[in-house]
Amino acid sequence: MDFMELLNFYLMPGIVLGCIYALGAIGVTLIFSILRYAHLAHGDLATLGAFLALAIVSGFGVSPLAALPVAMIGTAVIAVFIDKAFYNHLRERPKIVTVMASLGIALMIRAVIQVVWGVDSESYVRGIVRPENYWGLRIRDREIYTIAFMIAVVVALQLFLGRSKWGKAMRAMSDNPDLALLSGIDNRKVIILTWLIAGGLCASAGVFLGLNTELKSMMGWHMLLPMFAATILGGVGRVDGAVLGGLIVGVAEELSVLVLPSEYKTATAFVILLLMLLVRPTGLLRGKVL
């Protein structure tokens, strides 16, 4: 196999998949570090975002990319609602109780999707899209959009977290929640902001997964493990870590088929997760260990 073949058939799909995982993992890492629990409904929230976009695409006949912002806003608002209705009142209890509640929410979101949209595969656009050829690099438009969107999001988010007052407040909450309260930072607002960002990005992960593959009611649940593997690989609390982790997990999954039967692709994320917990639980970029 020559290099171009490796690039076109393994690395490129891996990077695209990695960008999708990264979009989800950013939300996971923010929630893990600021709200301090593992949000197990994150995958199914992504599925919900993907299907919301499908409803817009089929309802108004617009392109998936036009539906993306609406789906992101919708999912972000739903995420805030879920927090208010189900997680917020568990705040004073051990965090693991919220983890359990989120497993229940995962089931509830999925049930809603299965009732409304059924369990069959759907897609945004019918027909096969052939990749364009750029000097031997074969890449589809939707793959370019995925990568470009992820880069834009990360740049914007890093600027927000590094420069703006509320972005810094989010980092302060993640860094030292007690001191953030003593400094007069309104933690309720930080929590809402965190859910808006995580929910919106989560929806975008779902939409791009649907755009590059297909929509299924289980699509998000199957993304949960890679998203957490990416989060822990990069370092909990690190947005750049989530991106790095997402890309590594995505590429590793695609490359794994060279040595493993393709059924076990999803086992790659699990192996990465356990290996990191074993040798370097702080992750590549020195995040938190909760």
Other Cβ atoms closer than 10 A to 147: 17
State yes or no: residue 274 binds other proteins (CB under 8 A). yes
CB of 217 to other proteins, least distance (A): 9
The CA distances from residue 145 to 60, 92, 127, 149, 189, in Å, are: 21, 42, 18, 6, 32
State yes or no: residue 38 binds other proteins (CB under 8 A). yes
Residue 28: partners with Cβ closer than 8 Å, 6 or more residues away: 38, 39, 42, 198, 227, 228, 230, 231, 242
State yes or no: residue 259 binds other proteins (CB under 8 A). no
Interface with other proteins (CB under 8 A), residue from 60, 94, 125, 144: 94
State yes or no: residue 117 binds other proteins (CB under 8 A). no
State yes or no: residue 176 binds other proteins (CB under 8 A). yes
Question: Among the candidate windows 55-63, 64-72, 141-149, 257-265, which touches other proteins by CB under 8 A?
Answer: 257-265
- Judged by CB, which is closer to other proteins: 147, or 284? 284
Q: Token pair for residue 70?
A: 């609406």
Q: Tell me if 14 sits within 8 A of 212, measured CB to CB.
A: no
CA–CA dist 117, 89 (Å, integer): 31
Residue 97: partners with Cβ closer than 8 Å, 6 or more residues away: 90
Residues 214-253, interacting with other proteins (CB under 8 A):
221, 224-225, 228, 232
CA–CA dist 221, 246 (Å, integer): 16
CB of 75 to other proteins, least distance (A): 18
State yes or no: residue 114 binds other proteins (CB under 8 A). yes
CB of 113 to other proteins, least distance (A): 9
State yes or no: residue 84 binds other proteins (CB under 8 A). no
State yes or no: residue 37 binds other proteins (CB under 8 A). yes
The CA distances from residue 186 to 63, 82, 145, 161, in Å, are: 39, 20, 36, 16
CA–CA dist 39, 19 (Å, integer): 20
User: Which residues contact other proteins by CB under 8 A?
Assistant: 32, 36-38, 40, 86, 89-90, 92-97, 99-101, 103-105, 107-108, 110-112, 114-115, 165, 168-169, 171-172, 174-186, 221, 224-225, 228, 232, 261, 263-264, 266-267, 269-270, 273-274, 277-278, 281, 289-290
